[in-house]
Amino acid sequence: MVSQPTCIAHLHCPPLIPALAAEVLISATNQSMDSWDQSPAATVLEQQLVNWLCQKFGYPAIADGVFTSGGTQSNFMGLLLARDRFCQTYLNWSAQKQGLPPEAPRFRILCSEVSHFTIRQAAALLGLGEQAVVPVKTDAAFRLCPTQLAQTLEHLKQENLIPIALVATVGTTDFGSIDPLPEMATIAQTHNLWLHVDAAYGGALVLSDRHRSKLAGIEAADSITVDFHKLFYQPISCGAFLLKDRVHFDLIKLHADYLNPESNQAAGIPDLVTKSVQTTRRFDALKLWISLQNLGQQGFATMIDTTIDLAIETARLIAANRRFELANPPMINAVVFRYCPTPLLPTMNDPIAWSNQVNRQIRTTLMQRGQAVLAQTQIGDRVYLKFTLLNPRTTLDDISNVLNWIQQLGQALE
Q: Which residues lie near ligand PLP (CB under 6 A)?
A: 70-72, 75, 116, 118, 169, 171, 173, 198, 200-201, 227, 239
Strand partners, 64: 243
**What is the distance between the terminal CA atoms of the chain, rounded to a whole angstrom?**
39
Residue 231 vs 366, nearer CB to ligand PLP: 231
Name the minimum Å distance from CB 204 to ligand PLP: 11
| Cα–Cα–Cα angle for 17, 20, 21, rounded to 5 degrees | 90
Cα–Cα nearest to 81, from 223, 238, 197: 223
Name the minimum Å distance from CB 289 to ligand PLP: 19
Q: What is the spatial distance between Cα 109 and Cα 363, in angstroms, rounded to a whole number?
A: 36
The Cβ-side half-sphere exposure at 229, using a 13 Å CA radius, reads 15
Name the minimum Å distance from CB 330 to ligand PLP: 15
Query: What single-letter amino acid sits at 260?
Result: N
Residue 116 vs 211, nearer CB to ligand PLP: 116
Query: Does residue 366 sit in helix, strand or coil?
Result: helix
Residue 200 vs 409, nearer CB to ligand PLP: 200
Name the minimum Å distance from CB 325 to ligand PLP: 24
Residue 227 vs 271, nearer CB to ligand PLP: 227
Residue 39 vs 75, nearer CB to ligand PLP: 75
Q: Compute, in degrees rounded to 10, the torsion defined by CA atoms 121, 127, 130, 136.
A: -90
CA 202 to chain centre: 7
Name the minimum Å distance from CB 409 to ligand PLP: 29
Residue 198 vs 222, nearer CB to ligand PLP: 198
Name the minimum Å distance from CB 236 to ligand PLP: 8
Residue 87 vs 390, nearer CB to ligand PLP: 390
Q: What is the spatial distance between Cα 110 and Cα 134, in angstroms, rounded to a whole number?
A: 5
Name the minimum Å distance from CB 256 to ligand PLP: 26
- Which 8-state DSSP code applies to residue 234? P
Burial 214-235 (b: 16+ CB within 10 A, else e): bbebbbbbbbbbbbbbbbbbbb
Q: What is the spatial distance between Cα 249 and Cα 274, in angstroms, rounded to a whole number?
A: 7
Q: What is the spatial distance between Cα 325 and Cα 359, in angstroms, rounded to a whole number?
A: 12
Residue 8 vs 119, nearer CB to ligand PLP: 119
Query: What single-letter amino acid sits at 202?
Result: G
Name the minimum Å distance from CB 133 to ligand PLP: 14
Contact assessment for residue 289 and residue 296, using Cβ atoms and an 8 Å cutoff: no
Q: What is the spatial distance between Cα 218 and Cα 225, in angstroms, rounded to a whole number?
A: 11
Name the minimum Å distance from CB 76 to ligand PLP: 9
Positive or negative, the CA dihedral 231, 331, 355, 399 is negative
Residue 286 vs 332, nearer CB to ligand PLP: 332
